[in-house]
């Protein structure tokens, strides 16, 4: 759909849809947008060909402008300042002996807000830490506790498939993934095989699930006993994508059935 673009707000924010406002924004461009509290920056991740009706139920916000050279200079300067801010925050966490792991930090576009993201197994009383940081940086401080999936999205990396993590590249959010989805896709239930770098079930199990259900329709299940012209046998292998099934007959002979025909 023309005029709709996907943006990642700042470096670590969510991927959201925006109205391009008639501007020729390209993938990789930085743009200036209206955010919760004033202007912020975002990067164009994708220009989708189609957008679901569900995504268009609410009016989309419009981008203000494609980032100018001055805007890009500001963004780059914020990134440099963020590196120092990160190290200072790590030091303050250690000084106060807080049980938290700092993951990322980022300035808002106008530099009036500094956000720190951290993980912890428990709730953390970071009120004194906020005071320390506000005194040092003289801006509004936000500390946000995130989960392990968000940590993986922010830090990035590669999955078992060798490609960039889905959560860090194109997923807009996290859906509930269940072990049943792995079973339906005939995958090994070894946790190391079906878990991502975050330790949770891989996100691809969810968004590939519907296709597997479609391709599995009409196929016998692995372990099911069936009768063929050649005799009785048991299904020992099911390839949903190729829609092929291997049956082992009672005398031990293997027969491959092609359900595409």
pLDDT at 174 over 80: yes
Same structural domain for residues 82 and 141? yes
pLDDT of residue 8: 87
Same structural domain for residues 44 and 90? no
Q: Are 35 and 13 in contact (CB under 8 A)?
A: no
pLDDT of residue 210: 87
Confidence bin at 38 (pLDDT 50/70/90): confident
Same structural domain for residues 17 and 48? yes
CA distance 2 to 4: 6
Domain boundary pick from 46, 67, 88:
67
Percent of the chain whose pLDDT exceeds 70: 98
Same structural domain for residues 16 and 47? yes
pLDDT at 31 over 50: yes
Domain boundary pick from 215, 232, 247:
215
Same structural domain for residues 164 and 201? yes
Q: Are 247 and 233 in contact (CB under 8 A)?
A: yes
Same structural domain for residues 133 and 119? yes
Domain boundary pick from 67, 84, 116:
67
For 21-75, strand residue ranges (E) read: 30-35, 38-46, 63-66
Confidence bin at 202 (pLDDT 50/70/90): very high
Same structural domain for residues 115 and 161? no
Same structural domain for residues 133 and 165? no
pTM of the model: 0.76
Question: CATH code at 133?
Answer: 3.30.300
pLDDT of residue 2: 58
Same structural domain for residues 210 and 158? yes
CA distance 155 to 153: 6
State the average pLDDT for the chain: 89
Confidence bin at 72 (pLDDT 50/70/90): very high
Helices (H), ranges, the chain: 69-95, 127-137, 148-155, 166-169, 179-184, 191-194, 204-207, 209-216
Total domains, the chain: 4
The burial of 167, by beta-carbon neighbours within 10 Å (0-12 exposed, 13-18 middle, 19 or more buried), is given as: buried
pLDDT of residue 175: 83
Average pLDDT of 37-41?
79
Longest dimension (CA), the chain: 82
* Nearest one of 147, 155, 164 to 204, comparing CA atoms: 164
Q: Are 133 and 92 in contact (CB under 8 A)?
A: yes
Give the tens place of pLDDT for each residue, 91-150. Answer: 999 999 999 999 999 998 888 899 999 999 999 999 999 999 999 999 999 999 999 998
CA distance 232 to 251: 9
Q: Which domain holds residue 245?
A: 220-258
Same structural domain for residues 209 and 241? no
- Judged by phi (left if over 0) then psi (alpha if -120 to 50, else beta), residue 38 lies in left
Same structural domain for residues 59 and 40? yes
* Nearest one of 216, 217, 215, 253 to 234, comparing CA atoms: 253
CA distance 153 to 146: 11
């Amino acid at each position: 759909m023309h005029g709709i673009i996907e943006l990642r707000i700042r470096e670590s924010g969510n991927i959201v849809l925006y109205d391009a406002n008639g501007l020729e924004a390209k993938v990789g461009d930085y743009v200036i947008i209206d955010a919760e509290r004033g202007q912020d920056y975002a990067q164009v991740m994708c220009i989708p060909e189609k957008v679901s009706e569900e995504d268009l139920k609410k009016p989309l916000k419009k981008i203000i402008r494609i980032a100018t050279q001055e805007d890009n200079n500001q963004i780059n300067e914020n990134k440099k300042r963020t590196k120092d801010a990160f190290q200072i925050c790590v030091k303050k966490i250690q000084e106060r002996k807080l049980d938290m792991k700092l993951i990322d930090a980022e300035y808002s576009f106008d530099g009036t807000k500094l956000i720190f993201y951290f993980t912890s197994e428990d709730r953390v009383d970071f009120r004194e830490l906020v005071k320390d940081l506000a005194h040092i940086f003289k801006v509004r401080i936000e500390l946000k506790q995130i989960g392990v999936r968000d940590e993986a999205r922010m830090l990035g990396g590669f999955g078992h498939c060798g490609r960039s993590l889905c959560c860090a590249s194109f997923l807009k959010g996290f859906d509930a993934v269940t072990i049943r989805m792995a079973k339906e896709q005939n995958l090994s239930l070894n946790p190391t095989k079906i878990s991502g770098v975050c330790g949770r079930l891989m996100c691809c199990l969810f968004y590939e699930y519907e296709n597997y259900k479609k391709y599995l329709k009409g196929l016998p299940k692995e372990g099911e006993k069936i009768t063929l012209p050649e005799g009785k046998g048991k299904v020992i292998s099911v390839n949903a994508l190729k829609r092929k099934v291997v049956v082992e007959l009672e005398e031990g002979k293997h027969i491959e059935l092609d359900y595409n025909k």
